Amino acid sequence: MISKIINMAERMKDEQDRLLESMFESAPIADNGFSDQIVRRVRRKLWLRRLTLPVAVVIGLLIAFRPMAALVTGVYELLLSMPGDLVPSLEGSLPSLQLIVTGALVLGVAMFSLSMLED
């Protein structure tokens, strides 16, 4: 009830209100490509946001490739140097270094593709 009274009071305009309304009144501004320009900016922003993570992953992989390869080689050599009775048939069960790196790259590409598909 109170809010109705407030709204009614708000709608009761005096002469000056009406004059001010006519003074402030202006013709609608034509769009003239304004909205398209913003939509393009928004789309560009979306694409940049979507690309940020995959690009960061690829750069991270490139940077981490050498130290990771060295680490894998080190572990591989350590395992090979262990006595045969501790690690039976180790030679056949461990994948080669190339296979591990290829697997990591395939995983990276798959993650990238999945994130693109989700978008």
Give contact residues for another protein (rule: CB under 8 A): 6-7, 10, 15-17, 19-26, 28-29, 31, 34-39, 41-43, 45-46
Give CA–CA dist 98/103, Å, rounded.
Answer: 8
Toward another protein, which CB reaches closer, 35 or 89?
35
Give CA–CA dist 106/104, Å, rounded.
Answer: 5
Q: Which residues of 6-15 are buried (b: 16+ CB within 10 A; e: fewer)?
A: eeeeeeeeee
Shortest distance in whole angstroms from residue 30 CB to another protein: 8
Count of C-beta atoms within a 10 Å radius of residue 68: 14
Toward another protein, which CB reaches closer, 10 or 77?
10
Toward another protein, which CB reaches closer, 24 or 85?
24
Shortest distance in whole angstroms from residue 36 CB to another protein: 7
Shortest distance in whole angstroms from residue 112 CB to another protein: 19
Give CA–CA dist 50/119, Å, rounded.
Answer: 8
Toward another protein, which CB reaches closer, 42 or 105?
42
Shortest distance in whole angstroms from residue 110 CB to another protein: 23
Q: Are 108 and 61 in contact (CB under 8 A)?
A: yes
